[in-house]
Amino acid sequence: MPTIDRTSIEIPTGYRSQEVALFISLLDDQSELLMEDTKDITPDELGWQPKPGMNTIGMLLAHMAIVEVWWTALALVQEESPEMEPVLGINDEDDGMPIPEEGAPPAALRGKDFAFYVDLHRRARQYLKKAAQPMPDAELTQERTRTRKDGTQRIYSVRWYFYHILEHFSGHYGQILLLRHLYKTARVPAKA
């Protein structure tokens, strides 16, 4: 008898919108995969930089949590100036991004272990879910306006916000996998 490998996405309950619930399940799936792919990571690897001016895995993990909270506060909670510290315990500059050319990782992340980053992601997701649960389908097409520091305005739909959070997370997940590969190959002695 052949082995059967069944894969599916379970839609969580407790959301007014099935579309939002689907988004949450997709994001949760990506999170579970990331946590599985990094569960054996060490503080040294989290803080390793291929060269000055490049992001570390720790920086990317912190950044992913910060962006999830920042955009959720802006798009769903509708805060004008989102604050990260009450939700995450770190501020929006503690990820060190964007890192200056030839820059080093931020001191705020130095020596942090994987449990620290898992907790950041847990807090960010909890914040997102609380804000997303009461959202009705009709609100997904609503547009929000964000005024950037330079005065330009960006108009986006709430549906785009959900897409962006997933797209942003997945893009950095790929970077983390690449950095893990580079870290491992940097430690393999050259063959004579």
Give helix 18-38 / helix 114-132 axis angle, nearest 10°.
180
CATH at 40: 1.20.120.450
Specify if 136 maps to a domain. yes
**pLDDT score for 120:** 98
190 in any annotated domain: no
Q: What is the pLDDT of residue 171?
A: 98
pLDDT beneath 50, residues of the chain: none
CA distances from 135 to 63, 95, 129, 139 (A): 25, 30, 10, 7
- CA–CA gap between residue 138 and residue 3 (Å, rounded): 43
Please indicate, yes or no, if residue 67 is contained in any of the structural domains.
Answer: yes
Domain span at residue 114 reads: 18-184
Residue 176 included in any domain: yes
Q: What pLDDT is recorded for position 4? A: 86
Is 26 within the bounds of a domain? yes
- Give the model's pLDDT for residue 190: 65
Q: Determine, yes or no, domain membership for 191.
A: no
Cβ–Cβ under 8 Å, residues 68 and 128? yes
Cis check for the bond before 134: say yes or no (omega within 30 of 0).
no
Crossing angle (nearest 10°) for helices 114-132 and 57-72: 20
pTM for the full model?
A: 0.93
Q: How far is CA 57 from the centre of its chain?
A: 12
Give the single-character DSSP code of 140: G
| 7 located within any domain | no
pLDDT digits (tens, 9 = 90+) for 57-68: 999 999 999 999
- Report the distance separating Cα 145 and Cα 132, nearest Å: 19
Q: How many domains does the chain have?
A: 1
1 in a structural domain: no
